[in-house]
Amino acid sequence: MKRIAVLASGNGTNLQAIIDAVESKKICGAEVVLVLSDKKDAYALTRAKKHGIKNKFFDPQLYASRQEYDRALVAYLQEHKIDLVVLAGYMRLVSPEFVEAYKNRIMNIHPALLPAFPGTKGIAAALDYGVKVTGCTVHFVDEGMDTGPIILQEAVTVRDDDTVESLRERIQKIEHRLYPKAIDLWVRGKITIQGRRCFIDE
């Protein structure tokens, strides 16, 4: 049984989708055993409590640097024998040391079709640019900002009357399906990485 830790900074809707997928066996052979947040009031922690999942607020103020914070985080994850780290609305850029400790075992989801519109404003940036199609991307995390190997992507058509909120709502519906699918593929050993490319054996 693979042990998953989810790192979240906010509401945790993707966390909820992952928990639901584990409980309904859409993700087989894995369990979410840990939810960590850098925000004390993150609703993701409440979601974890409701499902009896161990959760912890990791206070960045207690550490002198990002490296020191991540070092403590990695030690905590290793202490709990975590196999896969899943970032779900986690708003901190992880350090190279963190990436190295869990190389090709950290996933993230981004609300755009990478490599277009990386960063925290992906939906607004796509809308401002005037693209006709955007979407979401599940990828492995490397040392860059949303630059790791792409696992899955799905497109969303941009409507003429879209706002950031309406577009986010449609993208999130796809995220809630795509992220559990990517995690399930990893758990079942169906993802092979060669250079920048991920090959899926379904």
Catalogue the active-site residues.
Answer: 110
How many Cα atoms within 13 Å fall on the side-chain side of residue 85?
28
Q: Do you find a cis peptide bond into 115, omega within 30 degrees of 0?
A: yes
Q: Where are the alpha helices (DSSP H) in 12-159?
A: 13-23, 43-50, 66-79, 96-101, 122-129
What is the amino acid identity at position 122?
G
Residues in the chain: 202
Q: Where are the alpha helices (DSSP H) in 133-200?
A: 164-187
